[in-house]
Amino acid sequence: DMIFEYPERPSTQDWSKHYPAYFRAPSSESVETKRAASPEADEETLPKRGPAAATTDSTKCELSKDQLAKVEFADIGCGYGGLLVALAPLYPNTLMVGMEIRTKLVNYLQQRIEALRAFQHDLLQKQSQGAEVEWVDVRAKLSKEIADLAGPHDPSTPELHDNGETERLAPGHYENIASMRINCQKYLPNFFEKGQLSKIFVLFADPHFKRRKHKARIISSTMLAEYAYVLRPGGIFYMITDVKDLFDWNQKYLDAFPLFERIPDAELESDPAVPCVVNSTEEGKKVARNKGSKYLACYRRIEDPTEP
């Protein structure tokens, strides 16, 4: 089994390295000073030592922006991050995270995000000084990195499409998105509190065609229970695939789960996230180029009638 770093519980997750504009991790010096000054202090009141080190739960540390900032959108199996990049300027004050099990893709996406942030900051600075902005082809740089990750003859290598993110200022400047390496089938509740998320995306997931691999599918009764736990009532679960058999499988489990109800297609027309879900991922663009079909269904998290 692969080794993953994960917090014991959501309040011990260090978000500062993912969203540096929103979270400030306590320095190790200040933590040790507090420990020395209060050797008998309750450990729960002090940041942890070790990898899950600096507690940066937004209710416990100083933030440079919203003091109640919490991640609200989660893209499960985010791949190359096309959805996050598209959603970031639409919801500039909402923190969203892409969760992916493949290390190379996580590293690539974080580099993509950091490159976009750097360009945005450079653009801001030069505009404030009245200087002419030199266009930077971030897409070309990252496309080369994709090729290096996938190998020279990999037909599944996606194409990056620049939708203006390297040419103009974007609301939020991509400070609100990040990628993490996580096995969501094991550790999802370690990262999110009950009802913390308002949107969950499962887009073009691995269909795991072989029957013996069906247990690895990202939508199942067990996983839906975890999604329902971290998704607040009224939150939306987005699902899309180009594989009809997988769509039928997903729909069967979602329709049967008591805490999700299907959102009528007509209602989705006013949801600004839906066009991004359908068109913005690298996998979705590949399906469109190949003139394939896309099967979309969205479900609303409803109140649990058994809860007071």
By annotation, the residues acting in catalysis are 206
State the pairing for strand pair 177-181/295-301. unpaired
Helices (H) and strands (E) in the chain, counts: 10, 7
Indicate if the alpha-carbon torsion angle 84, 85, 87, 91 is positive or negative. positive
Nearest Cα neighbor of 82 from 293, 290, 288, 285 is: 285
For residue 23, the number of C-alpha atoms closer than 13 Å in the C-beta half-sphere is: 25
Tokens for 155, please give them: 């037909």
Alpha-carbon dihedral 84, 78, 254, 285, rounded to 10 degrees:
80
271: Cα separation from own chain's centroid? 19
DSSP assignment of 199-235 equals EEEEES-----SGGGGGG-S-SHHHHHHHHHHEEEEE
